[in-house]
Amino acid sequence: MNNLGKNIAIWLIIGLVLMTVFNQFTKRQDTVGQVPYSQFMANVEADRVASVEIEGNMLRGQWLRGKLNDGSAFSTYAPFDFRLVDTLIKHNVKFSAKAEEEQGFLTQLFISWFPMLLLIGVWVFFMRQMQGGGKGGAFSFGKSRARMLDESNNSVTFADVAGCDEAKEEVAEIVDYLRDPTKYQSLGGRMPRGILMVGSPGTGKTLLAKAIAGEAKVPFFSISGSDFVEMFVGVGAARVRDMFENAKKNAPCIIFIDEIDAVGRQRGAGMGGGNDEREQTLNQMLVEMDGFEGNSGVIVIAATNRPDVLDPALLRPGRFDRQVVVSLPDIRGREQILGVHMRKVPISNDVEPNVLARGTPGFSGADLANLVNEAALFAARRNKRLVDMEDFESAKDKIMMGAERRTMVMSEEEKKNTAYHESGHAVVAKLLPKSDPVHKVTIIPRGRALGVTMQLPEEDRYAYDRQYLLNRIAILFGGRIAEEVFMDQMTTGASNDFERATQMARDMVTRYGMSDKLGPMVYGENEGEVFLGRSVTTHKSVSESTMQQVDAEIRRIIDEQYALARNLLETNRDKVEAMTKALLDWETIDMDQINDIMDGRDPRPPKTPPSKPASPSGDRPSGDAPAATTTPATEA
């Protein structure tokens, strides 16, 4: 309503200015057709004037139509002439007279000064806007941009948050304190100054903060860390001061700062002094949270997924007293999250959330919300009234393996090579004892890959043993080895497999201490600068001879697993051939068909017939696209 009133006032001022200009223009219209008074008298005496209207000193008339005149109108300014009337009567000129309207002193003053006063008023209005009289004025940069939430515009409660029971218990204590502080104060307890919520992206940190606001029923100020710092020096510190001043006026209240790592990075990590503004903002925040003046009644809740880059002074007790870890949900948490999101979608009776939760390890809350949304989109695309299990399986495949690219044209030779490649991954994965079960194999191009072998762990994994990592390396080499053994060729499609296998072997030697020769020691320690992302500047604390031993040990691991995978594929040629034939016939095979092939049985036909294969003619895909990627739900 305030913005509407301001807009109406501005348009009224513009209208008044236009009216004033128009009035000035109409007054000057009398000068059109004006003639000198001497010419007018000469025309009267020559009988060329038809009529005259006398209004004060202004004469308006009409020429007599004739050879020299066309009967047009004219005007002239007449001085005091007592002979005028006699001359008009003598020459038979029709004339009339009316008294000149006399304007009062105030009217004349208003008319003469109104344009100037209007310009002054417009200038004052815009200056007030620039100085902060309006929202977002040029001089209002120091004002806090925190948005205040109350019960009317925030309906999120703890019932809408699932999958993070431990984190919910931690923050529920804050809500209980705000509702009944005497229960804690009687035992000498004080309200925590701040809570830092840490977790991977999409785990629900911001949603949990909204739930705190909805449950506590106290004023809740929400702001992002990037809203503090702008191009003008001193803006960030001024906004921090203004935000805490507003919060103290509404205490008890909660301030929520999302992505606090934007202003809370470790000080002194910049280059060339270009980050003084950010450091001033951080210093002001440190003082406001726990400085000389207390801020009793104000609780600061912050969220970040980069706690390693935060300044130590920000993390000490008295500022952020408590760190709440919002981790990825386990299988029970995923089932609860799916239940929350499925409330808004018409679900068929065959949908089993526990099965979906078991098949989505490593998914965050945001991933599961996206899964439900994609399943609803698939159901709408198929003109269904309910979302069934088939839609959820299609959505899961799209998220985990990428969208299908059925219009991509592949030659028969390239499709056969991709089928052998994926069969190599799948057969090695089925023959190794500690590998994850193979869930699905497809040679339909998905995302950036020409084919995908998807493995899903039977349960959530939080740590990986040595044998599991060695098996992962062997499985990654299975695709290239199948190309060599069965197609007698090498393609660029295995480049991504080699990158991941090499990195995994390097981590086993340099980070995990899984090498008998080099022992439990970290090699190639990375001590990068915090502000530069810890990866730009790397200080190597290892000698050249030791690095040679590291490279030799990585080579040994890779060679051993390569030889293991090659031996498995050469001794199980029949299984690779059978799986390749099934892939060429059906394009996609699932776990049951894979088990039939590995047990020596004919694979059962798929439930849905495969789509019509693309024509073998057309352009080949780019060589840098991987022909196969083994996509586990959680990588080491």
Tokens of 47: 């009988």
Q: Please indicate if the annotation marks 222 as binding a ligand.
A: no
- Kindly provide the b/e burial profile for residues 27-63, where b requires at least 16 CB atoms within 10 angstroms of the residue's own CB: eeeeeeeebeeeebbebbeeebbbebbbeeeebbbbb
Tokens 């999250």, residue? 337
Q: Is 422 among the catalytic positions? A: yes
Phi/psi at 372 (5° precision): -65, -40
> At a CB cut-off of 8 Å and minimum separation 6, what does 350 contact?
388, 389
Q: Quote the CA–CA distance of 197 and 16 in Å, as a whole number.
A: 56
Q: Please indicate if the annotation marks 205 as binding a ligand.
A: yes
For residue 158, what is the DSSP state? G
DSSP assignment of 87-105: HHHHTT-EEEEEPPPPPPH
Q: Quote the CA–CA distance of 301 and 254 in Å, as a whole number.
A: 7
CB count, 10 Å around CB of 370?
17
Tokens of 320: 């952020």
In the chain, the amino acid numbered 539 is: H
Q: Please indicate if the annotation marks 91 as binding a ligand.
A: no
Q: Please indicate if the annotation marks 202 as binding a ligand.
A: yes
Instruction: Tell me whether residue 457 is exposed, middle or buried, using C-beta atoms within 10 angstroms of its C-beta: 0 to 12, 13 to 18, 19 or more.
Output: middle
Which ranges of 217-260 would DSSP assign to H, the alpha helix?
235-249
Q: Please indicate if the annotation marks 341 as binding a ligand.
A: no
Name beta bridge partners: 590. Answer: 440
> At a CB cut-off of 8 Å and minimum separation 6, what does 338 contact?
353, 356, 357, 368, 371, 372
Helix (H) or strand (E) holding 594: helix 591-598
Q: Which of 422, 483, 553, 587 is catalytic?
A: 422
Helix (H) or strand (E) holding 300: strand 298-304
Phi/psi at 633 (5° precision): -70, -35
DSSP assignment of 271-289: STTTTHHHHHHHHHHHHHH
> Which residues are known binding-site members for ATP?
199-206
Known catalytic residues? 422
Q: Which residues fall in the annotated binding site for Zn(2+)?
A: 421, 425, 497
